[in-house]
Amino acid sequence: QVQLVESGGGLVQAGGSLRLSCAASGITLRNYAMGWFRQAPGKEREFVASLSWTGARTLYQDSVKGRFTISRVNAKNTAYLQMNSLKAEETAVYYCAADKDYGPSTDTHDYEYWGQGTQVTVSP
């Protein structure tokens, strides 16, 4: 059974930082492209960041470039999203996802496996 489990969310003040983790079981993340998405109340799920399966390429939503970093530690079978200089409008549930294709990808339909999400709340 494949599971992706996010952690690291919480409440932070604007300008603060959080590091989200996505621990996998049942699959080996080094064979997958990884993605992070977020969904705010009343809004559609949106792309945040993606990492190719080789780890050589990344994609970011324009609004997070220079502030967020996606990474993966193969030995821990875990992906991460480092988020710095957070803004109140980035309050959302953050999801990690795994894509069997090469990646990176911004399209939710490309991802086969999804975590349950972790809440990130940024206070003004």
pLDDT digits (tens, 9 = 90+) for 83-110: 999 999 999 999 999 999 999 999 999 9
Query: Average pLDDT of the chain?
Result: 97
Q: What is the model's pLDDT at position 15?
A: 98
CA distance 81 to 73: 12
Q: Within 10 A of 111 (CB to CB), how many other CB atoms are there?
A: 23
Confidence band, pLDDT 50/70/90 cuts, at residue 3: very high
pLDDT digits (tens, 9 = 90+) for 41-70: 999 999 999 999 999 999 999 999 999 999
CA distance 60 to 83: 12
